[in-house]
Amino acid sequence: MRAVIQRVSRASVTVEEKTISKIDSGLLILLGVEDADTNEDITWLSKKVANLRIFNDMEGIMNLSLLDINGDAIVVSQFTLHAAIKKGNRPSYIKAAKPEVAILLYEGFVKQLEIDLGEKVGTGIFGADMKVELLNDGPVTIIIDTKNKE
């Protein structure tokens, strides 16, 4: 799994001109799923996201997690995070999981994150044409790949 995690002051997801998810302070998580992903990836990534200390404490130091600030989250499926651009100029998405696999892992990640945060998590609509708006706070953007845990 590959995730782009953005600390936001606000974020929303709109489908067909209807806002389906909206948060204030928290995280917008763009999630890409590949065929090799498993429940272990879900568990590891969810715990990492919930406990990632990227929110400022009273001294202005990034020392607090989403759990610490009682912030919200939106998870949006994004297969393009697995784009391969080594050859030519047209990205290949060969590593991205097929929809029938990806949707189960995406939904599994959302459920696990809800458990880890103890609250409902906003989502996009899998496979839909979505409009994602955000006000990146910082900006703080972290990229995590469960196959490369650096």
Residue positions annotated with a catalytic role: 78-80
3-class SS letters over 71-104:
CEEEEEECHHHHCECCCCCCCECCCECCHHHHHH
Rounded alpha-carbon distances, angstroms, from residue 8 to 34, 71, 150? 26, 10, 23
> Strand, coil or helix: what is 33?
coil
